[in-house]
C-alpha cells in the first residue's frame, strides 16, 4: 500500500473513493484520499464540495484554496489530528481554504491531540457544540486569516493535561462564541491583528495559561471583554 501512495492527491464532489485520487480520477472524501496520500503529501480540491470529516494520523497538507472544500461535521468532530508514529519526523499538518460546519450538533471543528505543528489558514469554523479549535497536545499552532464563529464553547481552546502549546492567532475573526479565546493549563496564546467581538467572554485564561497581545487587536462588544495577561509592542 505504501508504494501505491501518491505525494499529491485530489478530491471532487463527483469523485469516487475507489479511484486512485489522481487529478483525472479523484476521490470523493478526505478520508478516502488520505489513505492514498503519502506522508508529507498534499490533498487538493478540484471543486467546492463537501468532503466529510477526517482523522489525520500522519503529516499532511489539505489545501483547498480558491475552491473552499467543505466539511459538514454534524454530530462529530470535523478534523481530528493524532500523529504519534515515531517514523513521522515532522508530525506537521497544514489546513487551508476549508469550511467546517458543525450544523449545531458538531463536537469540535478541529481537535488536536498530538502533532508537532498545525497551520490553519483561511478556514471558517461554525456551529459546533464545543470548540472551534481545541488544542489538547503539545504543539506549535498558527491560525491565520480565519473566521471562527457561533461555537458554544471557545473559538480557540487551549487546555493540556501534560506539556505545553504555543498558539499564534493572527488576522482572524472570532465572534459569537462562548469564549473567543480560552488559555487553559499549558497554553500560551500570541495574538496579533485579530477582531474578537460579540462573544459571551472575549478573552479568558486559567492560572496556568497565558494570553499575550501585540496591542493591535480589537477586543470589544463582548459580554465581558477580558484582557490579555501581557501586552507587548510590535517590533
Beta carbons within 8 Å of 166's beta carbon, 6+ residues apart: 139, 140, 141, 188, 190
pLDDT in tens, 27-57: 999 999 999 999 999 999 999 999 999 999 9
What's the pLDDT score for residue 1?
42
CA-CA-CA-CA torsion for 226, 143, 78, 88, nearest 10 degrees?
A: -130
Torsions phi, psi of 31, nearest 5? -65, -40
Q: What is the mean pLDDT of residues 6-35?
A: 98
Surface-to-core class of residue 37, CB atoms within 10 Å of its CB (0-12 exposed, 13-18 middle, 19+ buried): buried
Q: How many helices (H) and strands (E) does the chain have?
A: 1, 24
pLDDT in tens, 153-192: 999 999 999 999 999 999 999 999 999 999 999 999 999 9
Could you tell me if 206 and 187 are in contact, meaning their C-beta atoms sit under 8 angstroms apart? Answer: no
Residue 2 above 60 pLDDT?
no
pLDDT in tens, 183-217: 999 999 999 999 999 999 999 999 899 999 999 99
What's the pLDDT score for residue 166?
98
Domain 40-231 in this protein, CATH class = mainly beta
Could you tell me if 154 and 177 are in contact, meaning their C-beta atoms sit under 8 angstroms apart? Answer: yes
Q: Does pTM surpass 0.85?
A: yes
Residue 234 above 70 pLDDT?
no
**CA distances in angstroms from 23 to 6, 37, 58, 60, 172, listed in the order given:** 11, 13, 22, 18, 32
Other Cβ atoms closer than 10 A to 117: 17
Q: What is the mean pLDDT of residues 124-133?
A: 98
Query: Where exactly are the structural domains of the chain?
Result: 40-231
Could you tell me if 48 and 25 are in contact, meaning their C-beta atoms sit under 8 angstroms apart? Answer: no
Q: Where are the alpha helices (H) located in the chain, listed in sequence order?
A: 30-34
Separation between Cα atoms, residue 220 and residue 194, nearest integer Å: 11
Amino acid at each position: 500500500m505504501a508504494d501505491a501512495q501518491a505525494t499529491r492527491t485530489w478530491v471532487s464532489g463527483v469523485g469516487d473513493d475507489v479511484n486512485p485520487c489522481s487529478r483525472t480520477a479523484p476521490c470523493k472524501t478526505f478520508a478516502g484520499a488520505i489513505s492514498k496520500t503519502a506522508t508529507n503529501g498534499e490533498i487538493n480540491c478540484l471543486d467546492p464540495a463537501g468532503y466529510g470529516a477526517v482523522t489525520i494520523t500522519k503529516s499532511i497538507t489539505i489545501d483547498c484554496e480558491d475552491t473552499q472544500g467543505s466539511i459538514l461535521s454534524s454530530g462529530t468532530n470535523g478534523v481530528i489530528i493524532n500523529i504519534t508514529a515515531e517514523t513521522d519526523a515532522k508530525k506537521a499538518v497544514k489546513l487551508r481554504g476549508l469550511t467546517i460546519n458543525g450544523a449545531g450538533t458538531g463536537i469540535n471543528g478541529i481537535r488536536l491531540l498530538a502533532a508537532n505543528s498545525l497551520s490553519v489558514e483561511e478556514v471558517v469554523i461554525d456551529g459546533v457544540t464545543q470548540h472551534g479549535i481545541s488544542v489538547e497536545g503539545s504543539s506549535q499552532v498558527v491560525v491565520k486569516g480565519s473566521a471562527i464563529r457561533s461555537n458554544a464553547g471557545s473559538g480557540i481552546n487551549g487546555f493540556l493535561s501534560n506539556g505545553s502549546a504555543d498558539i499564534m492567532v493572527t488576522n482572524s475573526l472570532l465572534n459569537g462564541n462562548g469564549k473567543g479565546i480560552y488559555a487553559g493549563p499549558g497554553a500560551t496564546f500570541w495574538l496579533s491583528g485579530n477582531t474578537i467581538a460579540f462573544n459571551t467572554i472575549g478573552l479568558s485564561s486559567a492560572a496556568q495559561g497565558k494570553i499575550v497581545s501585540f496591542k493591535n487587536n480589537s477586543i470589544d462588544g463582548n459580554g465581558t471583554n477580558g484582557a490579555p495577561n501581557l501586552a507587548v509592542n510590535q517590533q
